[in-house]
Amino acid sequence: MTQQTLAEIWYLLWAFLWGTYFTFEAYIVGTGILFPFLAKRKEEEQQLKKSIGPFWDSNEVWLIVAGGVTFATFPKTYALLLSSFYIPFYLILFSLILRGPGIEFMDKILSPSWKKKWIWILCISSFFIPFLFGVAFSAIFSGLPIDEKGMHLSFFDVINGYSILGGFTYTVLTLLSGCLWTSYKTLGKIQEKAALVAKIVWGAAVLLVFAYFIVFINFTTLFDSLENAPLLWSVPALCVLALLLTIFPLRKKKWLMSFVLASFAIFTLFASGFTGMYPDMLPSYIDPQYSLTLYDAAGSQLNLTVMLWVAGLILPLVITYKIWIYWLLKDKITEKNAQDYQ
């Protein structure tokens, strides 16, 4: 394969890995944000903790892999993106630093005040992770101030109407994902509460996703390229469709189906952005000729080939044992079997 073809394949994989991270992070941070509001008794807290405890770390690895793959296959994108979005990325990193101990340490000392502190740390850090990722990627999707000398990001290039809308859209979708995951994994009072919240959040998510697409289609150049490839409109269409359909299995208490649909909506929301940007990785709003495209940023032919072999061999294995572990831990979490896990 030529270097160009390899680079195009890697763009798809790159988008797939980031999308997968955002999808699997969603139910963890969603549950994290709602933790202090959903769980009122000790048993309920245990149930929530047990529903995300085994998975938060291995889902976060999707981020490490997405970051590593960006570095390995598109070094220029990695360097320009991270050094330009310096403050937002550090805020995300600080949130990630605090989120893990929030889950892992809350029960290490049996004291209500200790636990309460870590639950609030978990809640607040869980909010900033999806919000800031939503902001950062929406800012990229809506275009960046790149000229012939490079990127000169000002505060309002990161924080503006588009990016804040994107931040809230993704955050609300994570709430939906978290509620549905809780409904699927737990039994008892906490499940009823989560299902109720899911229905309300679903309404908000539909509104925001519609607003997101209307704004991005009408006021940014993100989807202009789809004029030449109308079939690709199916990606945002699938996002909207999946989200709309989420409510039906939810009403019938088919939690898993509902959760899968919501997750698919999250994945396709980001996939829409990556589809619209293609072949740009960091699009310029000053002049498209200054955009950093996948062809500008891609690594050497040998490197991309090695990486493709590695990913092709390891990813199927990873997905297999991940599914196996979900299956091994498939039991519903009741108030009884969620006993103390310190």
Whole-angstrom distance, CA of residue 123 vs CA of residue 132: 15
- Tokens 């550090």 sit on residue: 90
Q: Quote the tokens at residue 72.
A: 């390995």
Beta-sheet pairing, 280-282 with 292-293: antiparallel
* Contact of 292 with 281, CB cutoff 8 Å: yes
CB nearer to another protein: give 91 or 241: 91
Q: How far is the CB of 320 from another protein (least distance, A)?
A: 11
Give me the long-range contacts of 297-302 (CB less than 8 A, separation at least 24).
297/74, 297/75, 297/76, 297/77, 298/3, 298/6, 298/7, 298/10, 298/73, 298/74, 299/72, 299/73, 299/74, 299/75, 300/3, 301/1, 301/2, 301/3, 301/6
CB nearer to another protein: give 78 or 141: 78
CB nearer to another protein: give 9 or 247: 9
Q: How far is the CB of 209 from another protein (least distance, A)?
A: 28
CB nearer to another protein: give 109 or 207: 109
CB nearer to another protein: give 185 or 193: 185
* Contact of 317 with 16, CB cutoff 8 Å: no
Binding site for another protein (CB under 8 A): 50, 53-55, 57-58, 60-61, 63-65, 67-73, 75-76, 78-83, 86-87, 89-90, 93-94, 96-101, 104-105, 108-109, 150, 299-300, 302-303, 306-307, 310-311, 314-315, 318, 321-322, 325, 328-329, 331, 341-342
CB nearer to another protein: give 152 or 253: 152
CB nearer to another protein: give 80 or 197: 80
Q: How far is the CB of 40 from another protein (least distance, A)?
A: 23
* Contact of 294 with 19, CB cutoff 8 Å: no
Whole-angstrom distance, CA of residue 190 vs CA of residue 40: 9
Q: How far is the CB of 218 from another protein (least distance, A)?
A: 33
Q: How far is the CB of 337 from another protein (least distance, A)?
A: 8
* Contact of 21 with 13, CB cutoff 8 Å: no
Q: Quote the tokens at residue 102.
A: 């929030």
Q: What is the DSSP letter of 269?
A: H
Q: How far is CA 88 from the centre of its chain?
A: 16
Q: How far is the CB of 292 from another protein (least distance, A)?
A: 11
Instruction: List beta partners, residue 151.
Output: 146
Q: Quote the tokens at residue 172.
A: 């609300």
Q: How far is the CB of 212 from another protein (least distance, A)?
A: 26
Q: How far is the CB of 99 from another protein (least distance, A)?
A: 8
CB nearer to another protein: give 155 or 227: 155
